[in-house]
Amino acid sequence: MHIGLILDGNRKYAKKKKLFPAYKGHVEGKKALEKIMFYWAKQKEPKYLTLYVFSLYNLKKRNKIERFFILNLIKREFKKILKVKEISEEEIKIVFLGNREICPKSLRNLMDEIENKTKKHRKKTLAVCVCYDGQEELVEAFKKIKDKKIKNITKETIKNNIYSNELPPIDLVVRTGGEKRLSGFMLWDASYSELIFKKKTWPEYTIKDFKEDIKEFKNRKRRFGK
């Protein structure tokens, strides 16, 4: 089973709780994410979990101070990942999806270090979308295919050339924060995903919510467009 989480609503939470500046809501979102991660690490399912942490759009459009704050928060979390014993104990492989070239060099180096450290892990996979955009992912894939001079292009050809080439299709996408759209999240892999949209902001999302969403998914009858 593969679940995708769109971690939305951190700024809304900050405004609701009168935190200032609003981007401090991301700190509370980080706390919620850590709880979900430690719970997930101990479970057999889902085997695959993909997080939409920071979009390419936000990197380009958010003001300089907020962008600096969020990137440093991400960097601190990545450094912590290197020391989390559950990553090795549960054999969790970690991969990063997105436009790495646009990320700060220090962040790219951390991504490389984490991927190298976990590349032999086989039990579970955590994919983290940073500086990610689903449309750009497809554009980059088509460029690779063109450079390889592949003439017979199939669905498998495209899948083999996108960021998530090692991951299966996403079964369930959960988005918090009240918005009801994918915002460019995993456009290829989420094409037949079941969708759950939550009014709760991400900092309010709990382990109980996570378990209930999995239960709802298992009770749905999937049709895959039929």
What is the domain partition of the chain in residue ranges? 7-219
Biggest alpha carbon–alpha carbon distance for the chain:
56
**Encoded tokens for 51:** 């997080």
Q: Spot the catalytic one: 58, 99, 160, 209.
A: 58
- Where do runs of H (alpha helix) occur along the chain? 10-16, 25-41, 56-61, 64-81, 85-89, 105-118, 134-147, 155-159, 207-219
pLDDT on residue 60? 86
Q: What is the CA radius of gyration of the chain?
A: 17
What mean pLDDT, rounded, does the chain reach?
95
Which residue ranges in the chain fall short of pLDDT 70? 226
Which strand ranges, in their side-by-side order, compose the sheet holding 48-55?
92-97, 124-132, 48-55, 2-6, 172-175, 194-197
Measure the CA–CA gap between 192 and 181, rounded to whole angstroms: 14
CATH of 7-219, one of 3.40.50.150, 3.30.1330.90, 3.40.1180.10, 3.40.50.2300: 3.40.1180.10
Could you tell me if 158 and 191 are in contact, meaning their C-beta atoms sit under 8 angstroms apart?
no
Measure the CA–CA gap between 67 and 75, rounded to whole angstroms: 12
Determine whether 160 is an active site residue: no
Q: Spot the catalytic one: 8, 133, 171, 189.
A: 8
Determine whether 99 is an active site residue: no
Phi-psi region of 186 (alpha: psi -120 to 50; beta: other; left: phi over 0): left
pLDDT on residue 80? 93
pTM of the model: 0.95
Give tens-digit pLDDT for 183-215.
999 999 999 999 999 999 999 999 999 999 999
Give the residue carrying structure tokens 């955590």. Answer: 126
pLDDT on residue 62? 86
Residues with Cβ within 8 Å of 213's Cβ and at least 6 positions away in sequence, in order, are 3, 172, 174, 196, 198
